[in-house]
Chain A
Amino acid sequence: DAGVIQSPRHEVTEMGQEVTLRCKPISGHNSLFWYRQTMMRGLELLIYFNNNVPIDDSGMPEDRFSAKMPNASFSTLKIQPSEPRDSAVYFCASRAQGLNTEAFFGQGTRLTVV
Chain B
Amino acid sequence: AQTVTQSQPEMSVQEAETVTLSCTYDTSESDYYLFWYKQPPSRQMILVIRQEAYKQQNATENRFSVNFQKAAKSFSLKISDSQLGDAAMYFCAYRSGGGAQKLVFGQGTRLTINP
Chain A residues proximal to chain B, CB less than 8 Å:
31, 33, 35, 42-45, 48, 50, 55-56, 89, 91, 93, 95, 99-100, 102-105, 107-108, 110
Asked whether, in the complex, the Cβ of B105 is within 8 Å of the Cβ of A95, the reply is no
Asked whether, in the complex, the Cβ of A43 is within 8 Å of the Cβ of B102, the reply is no
A50 to B102, CA, bound (A): 11
**Contact partners of B101 in chain A: CB under 8 A:** 31, 33, 48, 50, 55, 95
Asked whether, in the complex, the Cβ of A105 is within 8 Å of the Cβ of B100, the reply is no
Asked whether, in the complex, the Cβ of B103 is within 8 Å of the Cβ of A100, the reply is no
Asked whether, in the complex, the Cβ of A43 is within 8 Å of the Cβ of B91, the reply is yes
A102-B35 in contact given A42-B107, A42-B108, A43-B91 (Cβ < 8 Å) = yes
Asked whether, in the complex, the Cβ of A102 is within 8 Å of the Cβ of B105, the reply is no
Least distance between B5 CB and chain A CB atoms (Å): 11
Asked whether, in the complex, the Cβ of B105 is within 8 Å of the Cβ of A42, the reply is yes
Give 16 new A-B contacts, CB below 8 A, not counting A33-B103, A42-B105, A44-B105. A33-B102, A42-B107, A43-B108, A45-B102, A45-B103, A45-B104, A48-B102, A50-B101, A55-B101, A56-B100, A93-B103, A102-B50, A105-B45, A107-B44, A108-B43, A108-B44
Query: What is the count of residue pairs linking A and B with beta-carbon distances less than 8 angstroms?
Result: 47
Asked if B11 is an interface residue, CB under 8 A from chain A, the answer is: no
**Contact partners of A108 in chain B: CB under 8 A:** 43-45
A36 to B10, CA, bound (A): 21
Asked whether, in the complex, the Cβ of B43 is within 8 Å of the Cβ of A99, the reply is no
Asked whether, in the complex, the Cβ of B43 is within 8 Å of the Cβ of A89, the reply is yes
**Contact partners of A50 in chain B: CB under 8 A:** 101
Nearest opposing residue in chain B for A56, CB measure: B102
Asked if B56 is an interface residue, CB under 8 A from chain A, the answer is: no
8 Å CB interface, B18-44 against A = 35, 37, 42-44
A50 to B47, CA, bound (A): 21
A2 to B108, CA, bound (A): 27
Asked whether, in the complex, the Cβ of A107 is within 8 Å of the Cβ of B43, the reply is yes
**Contact partners of A107 in chain B: CB under 8 A:** 42-44
